[in-house]
Amino acid sequence: MLKTYFVFIFFISSLSNHAFAADGKAIHDEKCLSCHQTEVYTRTDHKVTSLYGLGRQVSMCSQNLNTGWFPEDEKSVVKYLNDTFYHLKK
Protein backbone atom coordinates (compact mmCIF):
# COMPACT_ATOMS: atom_id res chain seq x y z
CA MET A 1 0.00 0.00 0.00
CA LEU A 2 2.73 2.43 1.01
CA LYS A 3 4.74 1.37 -2.03
CA THR A 4 1.88 2.15 -4.37
CA TYR A 5 1.69 5.56 -2.81
CA PHE A 6 5.36 6.27 -3.52
CA VAL A 7 5.09 5.07 -7.10
CA PHE A 8 2.16 7.40 -7.51
CA ILE A 9 4.08 10.39 -6.12
CA PHE A 10 7.01 9.56 -8.35
CA PHE A 11 4.70 9.41 -11.34
CA ILE A 12 3.17 12.78 -10.57
CA SER A 13 6.51 14.49 -10.00
CA SER A 14 8.01 13.14 -13.21
CA LEU A 15 4.96 14.45 -15.03
CA SER A 16 5.44 17.91 -13.64
CA ASN A 17 9.11 17.87 -14.69
CA HIS A 18 8.61 16.92 -18.29
CA ALA A 19 5.05 17.10 -19.46
CA PHE A 20 4.91 20.88 -19.55
CA ALA A 21 7.14 23.17 -21.56
CA ALA A 22 9.93 24.49 -19.38
CA ASP A 23 10.04 28.18 -18.57
CA GLY A 24 12.84 29.35 -20.88
CA LYS A 25 13.78 32.41 -18.87
CA ALA A 26 13.84 30.53 -15.57
CA ILE A 27 16.09 27.72 -16.77
CA HIS A 28 18.26 30.17 -18.71
CA ASP A 29 18.78 32.39 -15.68
CA GLU A 30 19.50 29.37 -13.53
CA LYS A 31 22.25 27.94 -15.76
CA CYS A 32 23.45 30.42 -18.33
CA LEU A 33 24.63 33.51 -16.52
CA SER A 34 27.83 32.11 -15.02
CA CYS A 35 30.13 32.87 -18.00
CA HIS A 36 28.35 35.74 -19.69
CA GLN A 37 25.55 38.11 -18.86
CA THR A 38 22.79 38.88 -21.32
CA GLU A 39 24.94 41.67 -22.87
CA VAL A 40 26.55 38.96 -24.96
CA TYR A 41 23.25 38.67 -26.85
CA THR A 42 22.85 42.38 -27.48
CA ARG A 43 26.41 43.63 -28.04
CA THR A 44 26.67 45.28 -31.45
CA ASP A 45 29.00 42.64 -32.89
CA HIS A 46 27.08 39.65 -31.54
CA LYS A 47 27.66 36.47 -33.47
CA VAL A 48 24.25 34.93 -33.78
CA THR A 49 22.46 36.14 -36.90
CA SER A 50 19.90 33.42 -37.60
CA LEU A 51 17.46 31.25 -35.67
CA TYR A 52 19.45 28.27 -36.86
CA GLY A 53 22.64 29.80 -35.46
CA LEU A 54 20.89 30.63 -32.21
CA GLY A 55 19.74 27.04 -31.86
CA ARG A 56 23.28 25.78 -32.47
CA GLN A 57 24.83 28.21 -30.03
CA VAL A 58 22.33 27.41 -27.28
CA SER A 59 22.96 23.73 -27.90
CA MET A 60 26.72 24.19 -27.75
CA CYS A 61 26.71 26.22 -24.56
CA SER A 62 24.19 23.84 -23.02
CA GLN A 63 26.35 20.82 -23.82
CA ASN A 64 29.52 22.46 -22.54
CA LEU A 65 27.69 23.13 -19.36
CA ASN A 66 26.16 19.67 -19.02
CA THR A 67 22.75 21.13 -18.29
CA GLY A 68 20.99 17.85 -18.99
CA TRP A 69 18.34 19.84 -20.84
CA PHE A 70 15.91 18.08 -23.09
CA PRO A 71 15.45 19.33 -26.67
CA GLU A 72 12.19 20.99 -25.53
CA ASP A 73 14.13 22.86 -22.85
CA GLU A 74 16.62 24.13 -25.42
CA LYS A 75 13.74 25.18 -27.62
CA SER A 76 12.12 27.19 -24.87
CA VAL A 77 15.45 28.92 -24.13
CA VAL A 78 15.89 29.71 -27.83
CA LYS A 79 12.37 31.14 -27.84
CA TYR A 80 13.05 33.21 -24.73
CA LEU A 81 16.33 34.56 -26.16
CA ASN A 82 14.77 35.34 -29.51
CA ASP A 83 11.64 36.97 -28.08
CA THR A 84 13.69 39.02 -25.62
CA PHE A 85 16.95 39.86 -27.40
CA TYR A 86 17.43 38.71 -30.97
CA HIS A 87 14.06 39.15 -32.68
CA LEU A 88 15.18 37.03 -35.62
CA LYS A 89 12.61 36.06 -38.22
CA LYS A 90 14.50 33.06 -39.54
Residue numbers at the binding site for ligand HEC (CB under 6 A): 28, 31-32, 34-36, 40-41, 46-48, 54, 57-58, 61-62, 64-65, 67, 77, 81
Distance CA 77, CA 82 (A): 8
SS3 88: coil
The contacts of residue 76 (CB under 8 Å, 6+ apart) are: 21, 22, 23, 24, 27
Nearer to ligand HEC, 1 or 39 (CB): 39
CB of 12 to ligand HEC, least distance (A): 28
Nearer to ligand HEC, 13 or 17 (CB): 17
